[in-house]
Amino acid sequence: MGMQGDFFQLLKEQGYRFGNPATVNGAGAELTQATTILALRYRDGVLVAGDRRATAGNMVMYDRTDKVLEIDRYSVMAIAGVPATAYEMVRVLEHSFKYYRRTQLQELSFEGKLRAVSKLLKENVAAALAGTGAVAPIFAGYDHDQGAAKIYFYDILGAEFEGVEYAVSGSGSPTIRGILHYMNTWEAPLATLDEEQATIQALRLLTSAAEFDSATGGVNRESNLYPVIKLITSAGVRPIEDQQLKALFETKVARHV
């Protein structure tokens, strides 16, 4: 008897055979994937960050991937999983939100945006189970009805969960999830951090993830490569510029590594 509520176990008991998530149709063509993404609530809103490495098996395919994608002025989706599928989902969401805004002359509600993300993931279940397109994103945005920025994370079947204080996803997430729990419980609560303090912590967390997870890219100062970090407040989405990240990394992160 499988664990109650375990959808994967139920499929196995019914004879379903899962594909190899690292290959396409068993032909040995490895999918590009792997990452570490995180979101945390700070004093003024939500910070969303992601490393920039894309891998296929043990091979590093690209070190300049943007994994924190802006959907509209007030929402972003951080992607963990197969970039091709994730990028297509973001394009569909971007178009859907824009279409609603132009036809209804108002923004789609935050609740509506959450349902749209969940619907896309559910429609992708067949591809995910076949091993060709699993995505486990983090969605963050500003909820004007509630007057607050919020964080939600999803499983590949489309189930959504609110990250009240923080959320993490990707191959390096187990490392920094433990650190976030420690920080939020026994050090300063994340919600009390100002913008600079939250940015420093995001840089430190992704540097720690890269230290223990080969599929997560760290900072490359020689190539001027830093993580992608974006802030969401009542004023909308705002990226942190590389020059600011470089200054904070040099003074607040590198000397501790």
Which amino acids are annotated catalytic? Answer: 35
DSSP type of residue 167 = E
CB 66 within 8 A of CB 101: no
Residue in 233, 234, 227 with CA at minimum distance from that of residue 253: 227
Q: In angstroms, rounded to a whole number, what is the distance separating the alpha carbons of residues 97 and 120?
A: 13
Torsion of CA 220, 168, 124, 237, to 10 degrees: -70
Whether residue 145 contacts residue 97, with contact meaning beta carbons closer than 8 Å, is answered with no
Per DSSP, the residues of 84-145 read HHHHHHHHHHHHHHHHHHHHHSSPPPHHHHHHHHHHHHHHTHHHHHTTS--B--EEEEEETT
Beta bridge mates, 61: none
Q: In angstroms, rounded to a whole number, what is the distance separating the alpha carbons of residues 93 and 64? A: 23
Residue 131's closest CA among 30, 53, 15?
30
